[in-house]
Chain A
């Protein structure tokens, strides 16, 4: 009897709250159908050998085979190298440039930020086409400049030792704008009073940088780290156009290897799905860090709101 009551009150509550469910319904149908379902089905596919005719269950064989595959190990090492160098370069360069410009006039900030952001807005595809042209052995501007200083032309994209540095460089310069936008916004949010009192205490610019700016933008740095890591992990076009993963799979990454297995080779969909699962797990792990940060921050929010109300920040002043 009491169970029946509970159930009906549960249903009537659902009915009473139907507006909320209806408002989220369109987003949720798409989210579950085209994101959650494919993710789950990816785990499933990764346990099968998939050919055009049939699918055979093979357990974790796809994973075992991947970890015995030299090119896959190379792809993992390259992806790690790629992420670590692009993240480090972006954070260091982003903080320095942003700290140097954020307290200047609005126009100046917009100009510098705009110069760095336009390559992001025009996309990796366009930037990669452009850099392919610049690096081209015979028609490229870079070899012309090297030549005019008396150097010999360099075959940038055919040299095993140069391909990864070039891919890292092109990715870094095409993405740095995003990082600068984030850091400038974070630094503009630091209450001006902190800098004024530091100035009165005679703290040097460098002291202000290490004692005020760096600690107060820690959360932004964390976000930049997560965001850059994931955008680097999924980078594809730079490798496709600059090197096609070559020479000798020297510049292959997880993303590129997944594409190659899925769409360039026959009957390797299962292994491609397994690479996707590995990428998913890495990104999910990083996402959970983000979730924990979000939790922590919502608790702090109340404090932040009261403090920004009292002290006018630079943003409000401008």
Chain B
């Protein structure tokens, strides 16, 4: 009985490992093909590994498209939106967690109630609003709607809730101002939560697509995601260029994930278990 269950256990684990690796295979296939000559990509039967490791596709995409500019735009949009989200939601969640004011619970309930509303559902009026403000085709229009979402405040509140109130009170006794207490005493204690939010939001900003698509009118204002799909819709360039665009966007995210895996899992779990 015992051996039978351990055999089936081994089979189960083998199947899971197989599926896990299989799930990664498309990304391997994407990246490995970008290091082949473009003629080798469509060759049948295919080479499972690049025969010679060449970077021609990367040279091509950076010289004949605006890919470098798209990369810069993505960095700006993801970087600035993340910084702003961390700033405004750290402040707001501190207030919701530690300060007392009239309407606090009611306002927080509105936040929770709208937590799951995707901005894609109000993309039409938001588009009209940005057009009326003459903000289409600007970084602000791509960044600010992401900062408006309540997710960060919701995520961080649970981290602030776990900090004892006595810390704030001891700061008060020493005569420190609320702002000083906030950034010298409380923020450092919520550092793990802030780091998790930072990484989750950076990835979200980098990977945001539909809103950036409708906001970017010129090729220079495209982000990497929008640039990649515009390459896909163009029938002229070969497969190599399309795949390389996707690869340029994927590699930084893989590096971010492998470096900060702990924060990803912590942040995702905190956003769910605590809510």
Question: Which single member of A30, A144, A173 contacts B148 (CB below 8 Å)?
Answer: A30
| In the bound complex, CA of A240 to CA of B213 (Å) | 12
| A residues contacting the other copy or chain, number (CB 8 A) | 104
A65 in contact (CB, < 8 A): no
A267 in contact (CB, < 8 A): no
B167 in contact (CB, < 8 A): no
Least CB distance, A271 to chain B, in whole angstroms: 10
A24 in contact (CB, < 8 A): yes
B54 in contact (CB, < 8 A): no
Are B102 and A236 interface neighbours, CB within 8 A? no
Say whether, besides A31-B150, A220-B273, A130 and B27 are in contact (CB < 8 Å): yes
> A271-306 toward B: CB 8 Å interface, digit per residue (1/0)?
011001101100110111011011001000000000
Are B125 and A223 interface neighbours, CB within 8 A? no
A133 in contact (CB, < 8 A): yes
| In the bound complex, CA of A265 to CA of B99 (Å) | 50
Are A112 and B17 interface neighbours, CB within 8 A? yes
Are B124 and A42 interface neighbours, CB within 8 A? yes
Are B41 and A139 interface neighbours, CB within 8 A? yes
Are A129 and B243 interface neighbours, CB within 8 A? yes
B242 in contact (CB, < 8 A): yes
Q: Which residues of B contact A27 (CB under 8 A)?
A: 88-89, 91-92, 150, 153
Question: Which single member of A134, A234, A290 contacts B115 (CB below 8 Å)?
Answer: A290
Say whether, besides A205-B5, A287-B115, A133 and B275 are in contact (CB < 8 Å): no
Most chain A CB inside 10 Å of its own CB: which residue of B5, B147, B232, B247: B232
Are A283 and B107 interface neighbours, CB within 8 A? no
Are A38 and B209 interface neighbours, CB within 8 A? no
Are B20 and A111 interface neighbours, CB within 8 A? yes
Q: Please, which residue of chain B has its CB at the minimum distance from the CB of A109?
A: B265
Q: Which residues of A contact B88 (CB under 8 A)?
A: 26-27, 30
Question: Which single member of A24, A130, A181, A288 contacts B30 (CB below 8 Å)?
Answer: A130
Are A123 and B206 interface neighbours, CB within 8 A? yes
> B1-13 toward A: CB 8 Å interface, digit per residue (1/0)?
0000100010011
Q: Which residues of A contact B123 (CB under 8 A)?
A: 258-259, 262, 276
Are A119 and B24 interface neighbours, CB within 8 A? yes
Are A101 and B273 interface neighbours, CB within 8 A? no
Q: Which residues of A contact B114 (CB under 8 A)?
A: 35-36, 284, 287
Q: Please, which residue of chain B has its CB at the minimum distance from the CB of A220?
A: B272
Question: Which single member of A129, A184, A185, A287 contacts B113 (CB below 8 Å)?
Answer: A287
Q: Which residues of A contact B30 (CB under 8 A)?
A: 126, 129-130, 133
> B102-117 toward A: CB 8 Å interface, digit per residue (1/0)?
1010010101111111
Q: Please, which residue of chain B has its CB at the minimum distance from the CB of A19?
A: B178
Are A118 and B27 interface neighbours, CB within 8 A? yes
Are A129 and B232 interface neighbours, CB within 8 A? yes
Flag the segment in B59-67, B187-195, B252-260 that touches A. B252-260
Are A114 and B116 interface neighbours, CB within 8 A? no
Say whether, besides A126-B249, A185-B269, A234-B120, A110 and B261 are in contact (CB < 8 Å): yes
Are B254 and A122 interface neighbours, CB within 8 A? yes
B68 in contact (CB, < 8 A): no
Are A124 and B23 interface neighbours, CB within 8 A? no
Question: Which single member of A23, A280, A283 contacts B92 (CB below 8 Å)?
Answer: A23
> B163-201 toward A: CB 8 Å interface, digit per residue (1/0)?
000000000000000100010000000000000000000
A91 in contact (CB, < 8 A): no
| In the bound complex, CA of A115 to CA of B22 (Å) | 9
Question: Which single member of B45, B94, B148 contacts A23 (CB below 8 Å)?
Answer: B94
A51 in contact (CB, < 8 A): no
Are A126 and B228 interface neighbours, CB within 8 A? yes
| In the bound complex, CA of A113 to CA of B266 (Å) | 13
Are B272 and A38 interface neighbours, CB within 8 A? no
Q: Which residues of B contact A37 (CB under 8 A)?
A: 129
A318 in contact (CB, < 8 A): no
Q: Which residues of B contact A121 (CB under 8 A)?
A: 203, 253-254, 256-257, 264
5 closest A-B pairs by beta carbon, nearest first, are A20-B101, A185-B269, A23-B95, A123-B207, A115-B20
Q: List 28 A-B contacts (CB under 8 A).
A: A17-B102, A19-B99, A19-B178, A34-B126, A34-B129, A41-B128, A42-B121, A44-B125, A100-B12, A104-B13, A112-B20, A122-B27, A123-B225, A124-B207, A125-B225, A126-B30, A126-B247, A126-B249, A130-B27, A131-B26, A138-B42, A139-B239, A181-B268, A223-B275, A236-B210, A259-B210, A269-B124, A284-B113
A interface residues with partner B (beta carbon < 8 Å):
13-14, 17, 19-21, 23-24, 26-28, 30-31, 33-39, 41-42, 44-45, 97, 100-101, 104, 110-119, 121-127, 129-134, 136, 138-139, 141, 144, 148, 173, 176-178, 181-182, 184-186, 189, 204-205, 220, 223-224, 226-227, 230-231, 233-234, 236-237, 240-241, 255, 258-259, 262-263, 269, 272-273, 276-277, 279-280, 283-284, 286-288, 290-291, 293-294, 297
